Every structure is written in structure tokens, then in C-alpha cells.
């Protein structure tokens, strides 16, 4: 199921301007008398009306306290007070008002969350993480990730890939030492996961293993966990250590953990630069 909230507005133009220009939401659907704006998983509809809905609270949540502070700096004039921690709900928040007086809450949760990232946001915001918090990943979270990873596409639906979770420090250090600086991120995480595929089950072990790896990385990210593709781990010594047959393909051995911080996005080319048009 998907959904949205609608609010009646007496001044649709000002409201659209505020939510789009100031808050940075996008126009998702223009129904003329109603404007539906979107950011992340939040969809809000505002409809022209003689009367107005002002009840309830529109809560916008962010990944970090720093982001809430940034929003406070931006919306100080509208704020009802400074950001503070709410121990009962384990959140960091401040309240403000939109131009028609609706209550806006800007917050971050100070505890872990179940996945909430919507597809495009997930694809755009995933980062390679090389530094991690010293914090274990529960077996329950790991199971949820593997459950989602069942849905990776494979050649002829061979389902030839498999995962090897590793928590043993000696094994992790071994993996981290294989490729010098390139594989060091493995040593920074509380655990590592190898993603492999079995050539007896598929004619395309590389494609199956590589796609499953990316599926794993995106799923981990949606659970707030970082990963980093470590290349060239399809090696004799790595397979020996894991007890994997030499003809199996090791797509990657990725570190897995809660990011110490979310790295700044690296530069990206514009979309047109990735497209080679051959139509005449």
C-alpha cells in the first residue's frame, strides 16, 4: 500500500511555494486545484478551499542531528523553540509552523529504524562506507536482509548465489589484508559478508554474483547499514579460507556495519554523459 495526506488550504500558491521552494519538496502531481508534493517517502496534498485543515502534525525526519540543526538554522523564524532531545520518544526535534499555521516537526530518531527509504532516494543516497561504528549487527537484522536478497534476478532463475557472513576477527583481518589499502575497509567493520555464486547452477556465475552483491548492498543501506565493494577477492587464498570450491565465483567480500558517518557524495557525471544515442 502507498498513500498520502491531504490538507485544505486557503492560500494554495503560498503553501506550494513554501513546501517546494523553501522545504525543497518536488511537485509529484499537479491536479490544478490540488498540488501533491513529495520528498523521500512523504507525500502531501494541498487543495484549494474556503476552509483550512490545520490540525495534526506534519513530521519531517532526517538521518542525523546535524541535518535537524541545519533545518533549524534555515527555519529559525518559524520555529517554536530550539532543537532538543525528547528522552521518552528517543528523538531530537524542534517544532515550527508552515505559512498557514500547521505544525511542522523536524526530527531525527536516536534509535534504529526499520527500512523506510523509497526506491529513488535509496538508489541516489547509497554510499560506499569505509569507517564503521563499533556496534554489532543483530542476527535478526541480518536475516531480514537475506530475506530481501532472495529476490535478486539470476540467469534462467538459477538462484546460484550465496552469502557467507563472517564475524571471526581472525578471518576478517585475513580478508582485510589481501589487497592492501583497497581491502582495508573490511578491518574497520564488525563483520564481513562474501557474496559468491556456484557455476554448477548457472552459465553466468559472474553476473548472478555481481547483481546479488548490489542487491545486498542496497538492502543493507535501507537498514541503515554500510557496505563497500572490495574488488578482486575472487582469489585462491580467499576461497581456501572460506572453504569455498576453487571454481566458485567470489563477487566481493564487503565490510558490513553501521556507518561512523555518511560519506559526502563523490562527484557524478551528468545523465547525458552516460547515454550514447544511436537513433538517427
Ligand X SMILES: Cc1cc2nc3c(=O)[nH]c(=O)nc-3n(C[C@H](O)[C@H](O)[C@H](O)COP(=O)(O)O)c2cc1C
Q: For binding to ligand X (CB under 6 A), which residues are involved?
A: 127-128, 130, 182, 185, 228-231, 266
CB of 54: closest distance to ligand X in angstroms? 41
Closest-CA residue to 256 (of 144, 153, 137, 176): 137
Q: Which is nearer to ligand X, 243 or 266 (CB)?
A: 266
In angstroms, what is the minimal distance from the CB of 127 to ligand X?
4
User: In whole angstroms, what is the distance from residue 247 CA to residue 121 CA?
Assistant: 37
Closer residue to ligand X (CB): 12 or 175: 175
Of the pair 20, 262, the CB lying nearest ligand X is at: 262
Report CA dihedral (58, 62, 65, 67) to the nearest 10 degrees.
-100
What does R_g of the chain's alpha carbons equal in angstroms?
23
Q: Write down the least CB distance from residue 229 to ligand X, Å.
A: 4
Q: Of 110 and 231, which CB lies nearer to ligand X in the complex structure?
A: 231
Q: Which is nearer to ligand X, 45 or 226 (CB)?
A: 226
The candidate with the shortest Cα–Cα distance to 251, out of 222, 279, 216, 200, is 216
Q: How far is the CB of 121 from ligand X (least distance, A)?
A: 14
Please state the φ and ψ torsions of residue 94, each to the nearest 5 degrees: -145, 155
Task: Report d(CA 137, CA 79) in Å as an integer.
Answer: 37
Minimum distance, C-beta of residue 262 to ligand X, in the bound complex (Å)? 10
Of residues 54 and 131, the one with the C-beta less far from ligand X: 131
Instruction: Identify the DSSP state of 187.
Output: G
Shortest distance, CB of residue 161 to ligand X, whole angstroms? Answer: 16
CA distance 254 to 196: 11
Q: How far is the CB of 47 from ligand X (least distance, A)?
A: 39
DSSP state string for 77-124: GGBSS--EEETTTTEEEEEEE-TT--EEEEEEESS-------HHHHHH
185 or 224: whose CB is closer to ligand X?
A: 185
CB-based contacts of 270, cutoff 8 Å, min separation 6: none
Amino acid at each position: 500500500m502507498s498513500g498520502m495526506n491531504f490538507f485544505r488550504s486557503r492560500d494554495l500558491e503560498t503553501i506550494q511555494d513554501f513546501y517546494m521552494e523553501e522545504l525543497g519538496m518536488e511537485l509529484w502531481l499537479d491536479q490544478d486545484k490540488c498540488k501533491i508534493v513529495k520528498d523521500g517517502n512523504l507525500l502531501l496534498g494541498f487543495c484549494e478551499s474556503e476552509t483550512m485543515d490545520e490540525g495534526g502534525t506534519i513530521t519531517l525526519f532526517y538521518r542525523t542531528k546535524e541535518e535537524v540543526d541545519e533545518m533549524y538554522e534555515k527555519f529559525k523564524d518559524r520555529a517554536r523553540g530550539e532543537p532538543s532531545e525528547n528522552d521518552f520518544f528517543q528523538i531530537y526535534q524542534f517544532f515550527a509552523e508552515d505559512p498557514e499555521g500547521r505544525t511542522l516537526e523536524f526530527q531525527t530518531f536516536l534509535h534504529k529504524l526499520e527500512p523506510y527509504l523509497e526506491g529513488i532516494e535509496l538508489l541516489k543516497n547509497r554510499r560506499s562506507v569505509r569507517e564503521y561504528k563499533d556496534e554489532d549487527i543483530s542476527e535478526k537484522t541480518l536475516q531480514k536482509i537475506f530475506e530481501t536478497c532472495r529476490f535478486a534476478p539470476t540467469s534462467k532463475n538459477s538462484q546460484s548465489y550465496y552469502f557467507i557472513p563472517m564475524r571471526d576477527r581472525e578471518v576478517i583481518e585475513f580478508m582485510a589484508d589481501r589487497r592492501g589499502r583497497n581491502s582495508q575497509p573490511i578491518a574497520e567493520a564488525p563483520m564481513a559478508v562474501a557474496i559468491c555464486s556456484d557455476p554448477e547452477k548457472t552459465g553466468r556465475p559472474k553476473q548472478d554474483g555481481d547483481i546479488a552483491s548490489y542487491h545486498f548492498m542496497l538492502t543493507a543501506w535501507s537498514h541503515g547499514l554500510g557496505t563497500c565493494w572490495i574488488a578482486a577477492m575472487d582469489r585462491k587464498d580467499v576461497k581456501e579460507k572460506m572453504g569455498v570450491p576453487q571454481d566458485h565465483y567470489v563477487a566481493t567480500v564487503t565490510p558490513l556495519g553501521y556507518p561512523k558517518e555518511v560519506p559526502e557524495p563523490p562527484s557524478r557525471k551528468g545523465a547525458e554523459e552516460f547515454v550514447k544515442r544511436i537513433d538517427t
